[in-house]
Structure formats: C-alpha cells, structure tokens
Structure 1
Amino acid sequence: MTRRADEAIARPASPFAEDDSLLPFAVEPLDLRGRLTRLGPAAHSILTHYDYPPAVARLLGEAAALTTLLGSLIESHGRFQLQTRGDGPVDMIVVDFDAPGKLRGFARYDESRVKAGMAPGDLLGRGHLALTMEHDRDAARYQGVVPLEGEGFAEAAHRYFRQSEQIPSYVRLAVAESVTPAGRSWRVGGLLLQYLPGTPLRPRDLDPGDAPASAALSDDNEEDAWVEGLSLAATTQDHELVDPGLSGERLLYSLFHERGVTVYPTRRIVESCRCSTDRIANLLRSFAPQDRRDMIGDNGRIGVTCEFCRTLREFDPADFE
C-alpha cells in the first residue's frame, strides 16, 4: 500500500491518474528516494509550438521530462535549465523549469539532416549537456556539464550523477504520441530513483597490480539495497510511464509494494513562458538606436517573436527614441 507522510496508516493506491504532475516518493526500507512525472497538456503544448518532425518532438519530450525530474529538486523558488549543444541534426535544446512548477522549452534543428526514426543519440550527436541550477534565496548558481557522446538523455543523466553528484541514480524517460477522439496529442513520462543511505557506499576495491588476469575485483560497493531498488525500477515499461489510465501511485505500488512505498503531495506542472512585453521592451532599449532602426520591418514596426512560445510582439520604434 502507499501512504503519505502525514498519514499514520497505510491506504490503497489511488486509481486516479493525474496529468501534468510530479509525484515525490520514498522506499524507506531501501533508502531510496525518487520522483515520477506524467506530462500531458503541458508537454503537448511545448512539443507543438513548432512543427517538429516526430523524432525531434520525442527528443524534446525526453528533455522536458528530465528537466522536470531534476528541476523539481528545487522546492520553492529558483530556476533550473537543461541545455545541449551538439553536432547532430538537433544542435541545441533548451528547457527551463521555474520552481515550483513552470516549464518551457524548444529545440533548434536542421530539417534536412533529420531522418524518420533517428535515435536520440544520433539526433544530438557529440557535444555537451549543461545543467544549471539557480537559487533565488542566496543568488547561488551551480552548473554541471557532461559530454554527449552519441547517447540519449537518460544515459547522459546517468553519467552526470556518476561524475558530478556521485549518487547512485536511475533515470527512465518515455514519450508517446496518442490518438484520441479529440485528435492526436503528446504524452511524456519520467522516473528518477536515487540511493541516499545514511552511510556512504563502501569504496571500490583497488587493483593490487600484481593479481593474475583471471582475478575478479569485488563490486561490493553496490549495496544490496541499491541493487534491489535498481532491479525493481528497471522493470518499468515505457507505456506505463505515459498511460493516461494508470495512476502514478498504482505504478509505484506495482514496482515497490513488497518493500512499501511512501508518496508525498503531488506538485502541479504547467507550461509557462517567462517572456513579457515589458521585458522585451527593456531589452530593445539596451540596443543602439541604429541597431533598433535595422530591426524595423516592412510594416514600420519592430517585431520580436519568443523562441519558446512563439508569441509575436510588435513595438513602435518611436517609443524608444
């Protein structure tokens, strides 16, 4: 059974699925913490601002799911950004998460190089993935950068946690385009599981140097609890992460019911852009007068389109003179 932190007794897992949500959870007997996200309308809005090829839309959907999982580690005020730069057909992806639950994103790609059915790693190519976190409270800014070496976002996230955070972690991402009576729509899901024991993992045995080639090194630093949790999480199927009829609580119960799983209050996720008329106007004021004159279109006005939400705003050049 699942239970919330403020409940003294266990209760059945809720059968009601919640779209555009982030569900934190814990498996206390195994020292596991995790987050499950299910994105429906929010993901569909992000993936349809542009007429992305299906392969590019799926890649951007994975980025949105990963950004939600990592950005939600900021509990209240702050920002998280995922950004890629690579030599593949999709040369840049940017996804922003504003705590507690605002999400936006876009992908820049070369349509002539995108082929149907391309794998995420082929689309990204080789480059780097930058993860940036900003806390409003203390104006602190943290950034981690990992190389992209022809793999997708889940594999890159695993490398990031191994190298930067040194926290045993598992990431699963899924994207699906569904067909309903109302039309076609995109759905996105993601699972993050982390091992956070009270004591650190035991260090890996060092190679003694003179051991025979047939000797195997001990891998006991992978605690039994993490191995068990990882094995359970790895049974998750892609269709379960994006199934609108399967609640997040029931999915977690199916994975961890033998050990018991605790769920915490759901956080709502919405697609929301930071752009505003005032912000863009202030940006235009920072340009030199001649630069602004060069921006004037055939209609005699300055037009600015947001890369994220594609909102077009027009300004009278005289307002800046």
Structure 2
Amino acid sequence: MSHRQETDISIPFILPLFSLRGRLVRLKDVSTTILNQHNYPFPIEKVLAELLAAGATLAGLLKYEGVFILQTKTDGPISLAVIDITHKGDIRGYMQFHPQEIKDKDNFRDLLGRGYLAFTVDQGLKIERYQGIVALNHETLSHALEHYFDQSEQLETRLFIASEKTKEGIWKSGAILLQQMPEQRVDKESWVHIEALLKTLSPQEFLDFSTPYEKLLIRLFHEGGVTVFNPTVLKAQCRCSEERIKEFLTTLSTDEMESLLEKGQLKMTCEFCNYHYKFNRKDLMTVH
C-alpha cells in the first residue's frame, strides 16, 4: 500500500449540501525550505509563511499555464512581499523590509501597514494577464482576501490561515478556503453555521499534520456532504539560472556592464532563493 502525502499539497473539496467549494493547503518542507533560504527575523518569517499558504490556496482556485504571482506593496516595516507559483506547483518567495522598524510589531497589520495586495496570472505574451487588487487596510490577511472576493468577484468567501515554527525549526503553515460556488447562493444561516464550524478548529489542531487531511475535512464539514478530490503536490523550487541572468545581461550596454563590475567580477544574487552568481570579465565577453 503506497503512503499518501499529507503535507506540501493543495487539496480541492466541495460541500454540495452547502453549495460551497473549498481548498485546503498544508505546507511543511516548502515553507521551511523557502524560509531557510533567508535569514529573516521571526515576525517576518511568520508573515511570509502565511503568504505562502495564501498564495498556494488562491493559485489552486485558478486554471492557468504559467505563473501565479501574489505581491504586497505597503508603507509598513515590510515594504514588499512576492510569492509566485507555477501551474506545476513550484513555489518561491521573498520579502523586503526595514529591520529597524520591526521592534514590538508582531501582527499582520502593523508589519505591513497600508498599501495593496495584488495577484496576477502571467500566461505568457499571447494571453492577457489576469489581475486582482485589494487594499491592505484590514486586521488580517484572511479578512483582506475575503473582502476582495466579496467585493470584486461577488463570491462570498471565508479563509482560515495559520502558521507556526516548531522548536526543531520546522515552519508549518496552511489555509482552508470556503467559497460559494459560482451561480449558487449561500444563505446567511449557512454562513453562520460554517463560521461556527471553523471556530472549532484551533491553529494547533489545524497544523497537526499527523491527522490525515481527509479525516480533518470530514470532522469539520461532514454535514455539508464533503467530497475530497486528488491533491496537487507543491514544492519549493526557484526558477533562476545562469542562463536567465546572461539573457538579462544581453540587454545592457557595454558601459552599463562595466559599471557593474567590482574588482573584475560581476556579482548578482537571486532575491527569491538567495543564490549568488559570479561572472568575470571573460564570462561577460561571451554575453555581448
């Protein structure tokens, strides 16, 4: 009997008796790998872990061939966050922040401040980009995304997001999204009941990945006639390469390239995975 993967997956499900569709995401190796590529302070790590789970959840709602990009741009200590996920399930992410402004700030709103969250689907030059934007003036990431779907997509949505770092240094994060099915109506009483069910779930229980995901969903939503579908496997995978950087360098003039040389070397670092690339003058001559 083959072992079923319980983490680093995105699981679609439906609750037909409530006219709801859902998505459950569990991250462990993915979140730990990505966060270990950076040396971020704990509050920054926690926000990135939850953005990774949110990004994977939103990407799972869409059918696309290309890259789903979730980005925040704000005036708080975290000025920029970028998560991207390919249709194959490859995830990467990074943040830009002001270390001196983090002190005594440990919640989503204080760390990001005001600005916007955008999600974009890039399917190449031949297909127009899909983009959604929501103002970040909410207490939590969940509330911001719920507001977007309610106002922009007219799809009432509830989102539960949690993350934790174990004493062994493992980052676990995840999300449960519940959303009315397109063309269906969910009455107010059903939403009150669904919210009550979600409130029975503590972050600790949700992040206990020893519980099979199907068992968790049935415990929470058996009244909705829950049907669980096959998961999509997710993995931490950057797309940077020496070839991609050389391709970028071909767009620079000789003078621009010379100005980037430091002691005869050009050094470039991928912001997503923190990998360092070095090129000498001879390498650059092959580019031009």
Q: Tell me the TM-score normalised to structure 2 length.
A: 0.92
Q: In structure 2, how many angstroms separate the alpha carbons of the residues matched to 1:126 and 1:150?
A: 9
Partner of 2:221: 256
Partner of 1:190: 175
1:67-82 maps to which residues of 2 (within 5 A)?
Answer: 67-75=55-63, 77-82=65-70
Deviation at 1:116, TM superposition (A): 4.7
Partner of 1:25: 13
Deviation at 1:145, TM superposition (A): 1.2
Deviation at 1:157, TM superposition (A): 0.5
Deviation at 1:53, TM superposition (A): 0.6
Encode CA deviations 1:131-152: one digit per residue, 9 max, x unaligned.
1123459613111111111533
Q: In structure 1, how many angstroms separate the alpha carbons of the residues matched to 2:184 and 2:163?
A: 36
In structure 2, the residue corresponding to 1:80 is in which secondary structure?
A: strand
Partner of 2:231: 266
Q: In structure 1, how many angstroms separate the alpha carbons of the residues matched to 2:126 and 2:58?
A: 19
1:292-307 maps to which residues of 2 (within 5 A)?
Answer: 292-298=257-263, 300-307=264-271
Distance change in 2, residues 1:311/1:136 (3 Å) = same
Q: In structure 2, how many angstroms separate the alpha carbons of the residues matched to 1:198 and 1:143?
A: 22
**Residues 16 and 247 in structure 1, CA contact (< 8 A), matched pair in contact too:** no
**Residues 232 and 255 in structure 1, CA contact (< 8 A), matched pair in contact too:** yes
Encode CA deviations 1:112-166: one digit per residue, 9 max, x unaligned.
1112552111000011111112345961311111111153311110111111111
Partner of 1:241: 206
Instruction: Give runs of ≥4 in structure 1 deviating > 6 Å.
Output: none
Deviation at 1:224, TM superposition (A): 3.3
Deviation at 1:306, TM superposition (A): 0.4
Q: In structure 1, how many angstroms separate the alpha carbons of the residues matched to 2:88 and 2:192?
A: 32
In structure 1, the residue corresponding to 2:223 is in which secondary structure?
A: coil
What is the identity, as a one-letter code, of the residue corresponding to 1:188? S
**Residues 25 and 34 in structure 1, CA contact (< 8 A), matched pair in contact too:** yes
Q: In structure 1, how many angstroms separate the alpha carbons of the residues matched to 2:287 and 2:142?
A: 46
**Residues 31 and 197 in structure 1, CA contact (< 8 A), matched pair in contact too:** no
Identity percentage of aligned residues: 34
Tell me whether 1:159 sits opposite 2:147 in the alignment.
Answer: yes
Q: How many residues were matched structurally?
A: 283
Partner of 1:89: 77
Q: In structure 1, how many angstroms separate the alpha carbons of the residues matched to 2:213 and 2:229?
A: 12
Deviation at 1:198, TM superposition (A): 4.4
Deviation at 1:244, TM superposition (A): 2.4
**Residues 76 and 100 in structure 1, CA contact (< 8 A), matched pair in contact too:** no
Q: Which runs of 5+ in 1 are unaligned?
A: 1-14, 202-221
Encode CA deviations 1:89-122: one digit per residue, 9 max, x unaligned.
0000000011131111001111111125521110
**Residues 95 and 105 in structure 1, CA contact (< 8 A), matched pair in contact too:** yes
In structure 2, the residue corresponding to 1:68 is in which secondary structure?
A: helix
Q: Which moved more, 1:24-33 or 1:134-143?
A: 134-143
